[in-house]
Amino acid sequence: MAFVLAFAAAPAAYAQSNHLANNQLNSTTISSSTNTTVYELHGALQTSSLAGGNTVAVDVDGNLAFSNQQRFFGDARATTNVHVGALGGSGLILSTAFSNNAEVNAPTACCVSVNNLQIANIDPTAVANVRIGYAAEDVTVSARAFSNGMTINGSGDGNMHVNSVQWNGAATHAVANTTIGSIGGDLVAQSSAIGNSLTINNIPRH
C-alpha cells in the first residue's frame, strides 16, 4: 500500500479545534499477492492480501475542519490464492483492493466540516482463488474492490457540514472463486465491486 496517513489530534483539554488537510497523489501500480499451499492443517487458516493507492485516517477530540484530496492514476491489484488439502479449523480468506480511502472519526465534536475530493482513473482489482479438499468448520471467502471510499463518524450533536465529490473513471473488479470438496460448517463466499461510496454515521438531529 502507498501513501498512508494517520492523524491523531491532541486531547480535548489541549485542542478544542482541529484544522487538517490531506493531499495524496499516486500514479503507479500497487500490487499484493499471497499464495498459500498446505497439505494438512489442524488449526484455523487466516490469509489475506491488500493493495491500496491512497488512504488516510483521522481520529480527533474536539471540533474538526478537514480537507481531503486524493487522486489515483495507477493500478491496485490484490490476489489471494489458497490450496489446502484438509483444514481442521475455520478458514478466513480475504482479498481487498482500492484506489482512494478516507475515514474520519470525531466522537466528541460539536462541529464537523469535511470537504472531500477523490478521483480514480485506473482499475482496482481483487481476486480470491480458493481450493480446499475438506474443511471441518466454517469458511469465509471475500473479494472486495472499490475506487473511492469515504466514511465519516460524527458525535450526533451540534453541526455537520459535508461537501463530497467522488469521480471514478476506473473499471472495478472483484472475483471470488471457491471450490470445496466437503465442509462440516457454513460457507460464505462473496465478492463486491464498488465505484464510489460515502457513509456518514451519527448525523446531528435538530
pLDDT digits (tens, 9 = 90+) for 114-149: 999 999 999 999 999 999 999 999 999 999 999 999
Q: What is the mean pLDDT of the chain?
A: 92
Ramachandran region, residue 13 (left: φ > 0; alpha: ψ -120 to 50; beta: rest): alpha
Instruction: For residue 14, name the pLDDT band (cuts at 50, 70, 90).
Output: very low
* The pLDDT value given to residue 10: 46
Name the pLDDT band for 103 (thresholds 50, 70, 90): very high
CA distances from 136 to 40, 128, 181, 185, 191 (A): 12, 20, 11, 6, 23
Q: How confident is the model at residue 7 (pLDDT cuts 50, 70, 90)?
A: low
* Of residues 78, 81, 79, 77, the one with CA closest to residue 36: 81
pLDDT of residue 156: 87
Residue 1 has pLDDT above 60, yes or no: no
**What is the rounded CA–CA span in Å between residue 9 and residue 64?**
10
pLDDT digits (tens, 9 = 90+) for 17-59: 899 999 999 999 999 999 999 999 999 999 999 999 999 999 9
Instruction: For residue 11, give Cα distances in angstroms to 14, 15, 60, 83, 189.
Output: 6, 6, 8, 48, 42
Q: The C-alpha cell of 56 is what? A: 488516510
Q: Is 12 a residue whose pLDDT tops 50?
A: no
pLDDT value for 64? 94
Using pLDDT thresholds of 50, 70 and 90, give the confidence band for residue 205: confident
Percent above pLDDT 90 for the chain = 84
pLDDT for res 126: 98
At CA 123, angle to CA 117 and CA 126, rounded to 5?
110
Q: Is the pLDDT of residue 201 over 80?
A: yes
Q: Note the pLDDT of residue 13.
A: 42
pLDDT at 11: 47
| Residue 156 neighbours by CB under 8 Å, 6+ apart | 202, 203, 204, 205
